[in-house]
Amino acid sequence: MSNPNVKPATGKLGIMVVGLGAVSTTFMTGVMMTRKGLAKPVGSMTQYDKIRVGRGENKKYLHYKDIVPLAKLDDIVFAAWDVYPANAYESAINAQVLKKKDIEPVKDELLKIKPLKAAFDKNYAKRLDGDNVKQCKDRWDMMEQVREDIRNFKKESGVDRVVVLWAASTEIYVAPDKNVHYTLDQLEAAMKANDVDHISPSMCYAYAALKEGCPFIMGAPNTTVDIPAMWQLSDETKVPIAGKDFKTGQTLVKSGFAPIIGARMLGMSGWFSTNILGNRDGLVLDEPANFRTKEVSKLSTLESILVAEDQPDLYSDIFHKVRINYYPPRNDNKEGWDNIDIFGWMGYPMQIKINFLCRDSILAAPLCLDLCLLMDLAHRAGRYGTQRFLSFFLKSPQHDYTVDEVPVNHLFQQHVMLKNAIREMGGYEADEEID
């Protein structure tokens, strides 16, 4: 069965990544090694997950690619922007995530990916000081230069479609402002007036991508496409958006483990999360204004899974705290500790400790692949606006806070949303309930 409303994945798919650091070089190297048959894309839903379609005797379990027309790994062409001029090979070596033996076989391909000059404002990431940056008159000019980069890449590489993925650092926190971020007219006026306090570089990338007909994915917790003005632009251009913040380590644990507490009707008095990491992400997050952006994203998970109003005896007084500590010796090998204080029968206290020694980029790379392939699919299926079915991959799913929409953070409900969207785009019935 196939859905005639979904365009086929003909030609090449360009993936333009903002940031050529640990996450993006691990992603690119893994895709290239998998294409050569030298690695396996472990952790990728689009490459491994199977979904049931049909019921009863018509029931089948199929890979995504057998339900919907996904772009093939062989058809992906990469490009990137970065504040540092190192090419993808140098950057992959510098990141110290992958062993040299897992990079060398694709060295020639990686060497060719030289980062375009980044649209950058040091005030948004004070700890970064690369000089491979655009000279911009104002935010509008910044956006126009990014548009030009996208057009040039399309022309020079011959790709048919482009997806833009933010895999760069966390910017300082920008609170959504009703006078700047709520309508497209306001946003454009602020860009032209060079309102650097309210218009972040990431907003310039997102605006440019949408105007060029490229789906945009926000992989950091930045305020970017989660503002009404961007929703309006996404509707006008008929181009999908998604974000924010790749759900890799601790929040993945939280969104999968909290449902155990809820399902078993146990109470919770507190959840203390702390992380140590030493890569560029850790360095940037060591700045309090940047950490604030991350904290807002990480804190939102628990409260929508264990809902105080539904079970006041169990969840009305949860103390939830998140800490991130910059610790260079660990580099990309992040460690997350979760100390969970629960209570059971007659209010007697118990504790759960989870110590996740994860590799940030190893967990993020398959998410990058899945998000890019599924956003490209959504675009070909004629979907636009916020793609809520991708919340499975994201820490802080985008939602319409102007009408008090509560995002779904429960991992297994998110998986149902993902499966239903794939079924629908494949011409099958979306037949699972979220309850």
Is residue 146 within 8 Å of residue 179, measured between CB atoms? no
Domain 250-357, what architecture? 2-Layer Sandwich (3.30)
Tens digit of pLDDT for each residue in 43-77? 999 999 999 999 999 999 999 999 999 999 999 99
> Which residues, at least 6 apart from 246, have a Cβ–Cβ distance to it below 8 Å?
23, 167, 219, 220, 363, 364, 367, 368, 393, 394, 395
* Segment 215-259, tens digit of pLDDT: 999 999 999 999 999 999 999 999 999 999 999 888 899 999 999
User: pTM of the prediction?
Assistant: 0.94
Structure token digits, residue 348: 């007697």
Alpha-carbon Rg of the chain, whole angstroms? 21
How far is C-alpha 416 from the chain's CA centre?
19
Q: Do domains 13-246+361-425 and 250-357 have the same CATH topology?
A: no
What confidence tens digit (pLDDT) does each residue in 342-376 have?
A: 999 999 999 999 999 999 899 999 999 999 999 99
Q: What is the pLDDT of residue 203?
A: 98
What's the rounded Cα separation, in Å, for the pair 170 and 267? 34
Instruction: State the pLDDT confidence band at 280, using cuts at 50, 70 and 90.
Output: confident
- Mean pLDDT for 406-412 is 92
In sequence order, which residues have a C-beta less than 8 Å from that of residue 434 and are 6 or more positions away?
408, 413, 416, 417
Query: Which residues share a beta bridge with 325?
Result: 276
List the chain domain ranges.
13-246+361-425, 250-357
Q: What is the pLDDT of residue 297?
A: 66
Stretch 134-157: mean pLDDT, rounded?
98
CATH code for the domain defined by 13-246+361-425: 3.40.50.720
